[in-house]
Amino acid sequence: MCGRLSQYDGIHDFVAALGMPNALVNNAGDRPLERYNAAPSTQLALFHQEGEYLHADMVRWGWRPHWAKDRAAPVNARVEKVAHGPFYRAIWPHRAIIALNNWFEWVDEGGPKKQPYLIRRRDRSPILCAAIGQYPNDEQEQGEHDGFVIITADSAGGMVDIHDRRPVTLSPELAREWLDPATPRERAEQMALHQGEPTEAFEWFRVGYAVGNAKKNDGPEVIEPMAQEGLF
């Protein structure tokens, strides 16, 4: 999975997709987020649960432990290793959901530049991605080392032609179970490994090269299909 995504709906749209009646502690605001071309280190809306409360906070995309000073902050974590590797040991218990509208990948199709593709759900509903991180909670305030990573797995079906990795996306029911602090870690690992949504839930199409420059191009134009582009 490449490091670019869209998160342009509002918090309440994402809460509705989660289907959680819990009281919401909203530190992300009520306005649409309007991030059409978010890159690593961007502050994005992240959900976690404490007790019966659902929390929404703006958290940096990318995290590394304080002791890994010479390593770039990863934005993704491989599902095959995340539960048991030492790098993510401190944040594996801190499960979260990052709700996306879509993400982007780049494919070498033999041209002068790699071709960008947008991937979204066929029904256009938000994509609920499994994540872990360090973020404000009842026990610690916001800090300079806060951040999160998206858990990724091998792609399957036609999506393999776009990229060999993809986010672990969960149905609303499983996303709620993932967020629930009462869900055992072993159960969470099995969900991430084996119960991600199927490729058939998604569609993808080519978009313009402007998406390659996140600093200059972060408007709705970057999610528009190329002229006469069909869906896959």
The Cα-based distances of 172 to 123, 128, 130, 210, 211 in angstroms read 14, 7, 11, 32, 29
Q: How far apart are CA 168 and CA 78, in angstroms?
A: 10
Pairwise CA distance, residues 23 & 14, whole Å: 14
- Distances in Å between the Cα of 192 and the Cα atoms of 32, 127, 169, 187, 225 are 29, 15, 8, 9, 31
- CA distance linking residue 93 with residue 91, whole number of Å: 5
Alpha helices, H only, the chain: 11-18, 172-179, 185-194
Asked if 203 is an active-site residue, the reply is no
Please report where in the chains the tokens 């934005």 appear, as a residue. Answer: 75
CB 27, CB 45: distance < 8 Å: no
Q: How far is CA 156 from the centre of its chain?
A: 18
Q: Which two tokens stand for residue 208?
A: 């313009």
Residue 16 to residues 9, 21, 64, 121, 225: CA-CA distances in angstroms? Answer: 11, 9, 31, 16, 27
> Looking at 105, 129, 197, 203, which residue is catalytic?
105
2 is catalytic: yes
DSSP letter (8 states) at residue 157: G
Classify 147 as helix, strand or coil: strand
Residues annotated catalytic, as ranges: 2, 105
